[in-house]
Each structure stands twice: as structure tokens, then as C-alpha cells.
Amino acid sequence: MSAPPLGADGWWPEAIRYESPHADDRPDPADITLLVVHNISLPGGRFGGPHVSDLFTGRLDYNTDPSFADLRGLKVSSHFFIRRDGRVMQYVSANDRAWHAGLSVFRGREKCNDYSLGVELEGTDDSGFEPAQYQALAVLTLALQSRYPLTDVQGHEHIAPGRKTDPGPLFDWEYYRKSWQALLNQKALDEPALVGASAGLRFAKGLLQSQ
């Protein structure tokens, strides 16, 4: 399975497109080196509803569920959201800064939103994730690499330790890496130069790995 890279406008043709108001310009549009993996479900532990998209687009009805009261006034977004069945939604152009990481630091650099891309997986720390999500994430990762100089993939838990725990202990980093590697090997048959450019991508290995 392969997919085209993102367009020059930062939108991926394979994703269902929404547009979030919770985004702004990057300080340096050429500095996009980190991919951050999250999980989300609204209400917590329930999948398939419209509420994640409503949150990211500023349309969430806070009266729909009692747990939404804590989200009132929250302005948050992600570049991408991957459903349990592998469908991919996009809310912010990858050229722009989505508001997904919050207070964060990676390899001594703060404000990870400035130089990262955010991908939310529909799930929880306790639910685990579906094979279709890993496959979609691998395809998306390769598509992003085709356009941006990504060097690292980390979980939200790694860039905000003690504050965030997602994607959690049930996220299988090795399965994700192997899925990506298999796609990269397939791509090498048609675009061998891409393999050389992408081979150095560093994946997190698990919960709160040493940086």
C-alpha cells in the first residue's frame, strides 16, 4: 500500500479534509523535523463519534456529555487524526503549526509545535490500537517524509513526560517501525533515492525512552 505525498499546500489528498481555526504560521516553515504520535477519544474510551473533529474545528457542543465541561474554551488541533478503521482526517496544513503538543521539549528544544507534525490515533492508553491504524500511520509517515525533512518520531509522552502519557504503553512502536520499513522497501523498487533519504528516521522505542 502506498499513497502520494502531500501537495505543496501541505494537504494530503488521501485524507478527509476539515479545516481548524486552531493553527497559525510556523516560525520557520522549513524546520519540520519531528512527528509526534498521540491518542484521543471523546468521550473517553468511546470511538466512532464526531466529537474529536468537533473539538479540533471549534464546534464541540459541551452539553453533549458531562465530561466535555472540562474542555470548554480549549483551543487544540492536530494535523491528522486516524480512526480505528484506518481512515485519515486532516485539520491543519502540514505547512502550518497545529496546537497539539503544548508545553514540550525534545533533545533540548522547547515548543515542539514549532517544528513538529501531530498525528492523533483514535484510542486510549488502555485500548491498544488496530492494525489498520498502524498501516495508515506507516503510509502517512512515508508520505510526510516525501515532503518534509523528518528525522524523529516520538510519542506525546516522550516530549511532555509527567504531563502526558499518550500514546501509552500499548502502542507498539516496533510494529509501527516494521510497517513503515516494509513500505519503504516496496517504495525502493520505484524510488531508490527515497530510501537513502529516509533510512535515518529515528523511532521512539517505548514509554519515556531516554532522550
- What Å distances lie between residue 106 and 39, 62, 103, 120, CA to CA? 19, 33, 11, 18
φ, ψ dihedrals at 189, nearest 5°: -65, -35
Give me the long-range contacts of 172-181 (CB less than 8 A, separation at least 24).
Answer: 172/129, 172/134, 173/203, 173/204, 173/205, 173/206, 174/205, 175/134, 176/134, 176/137, 176/138, 176/203, 177/203, 179/134, 179/135, 179/137, 179/138, 180/138, 180/141, 180/142
The per-residue DSSP string of 14-28 comes to: TSEE---SSEE--S-
Structure-block grid coordinates of residue 133: 491504524
Residues assigned a catalytic role:
120
Q: How many CB atoms lie within 10 A of CB 36?
A: 31
φ, ψ dihedrals at 36, nearest 5°: -115, 125
Stated as kind and residue range, the H or E segment containing 192 is helix 192-198
Residue pair 90/80 in contact (Cβ under 8 Å)? The answer is yes
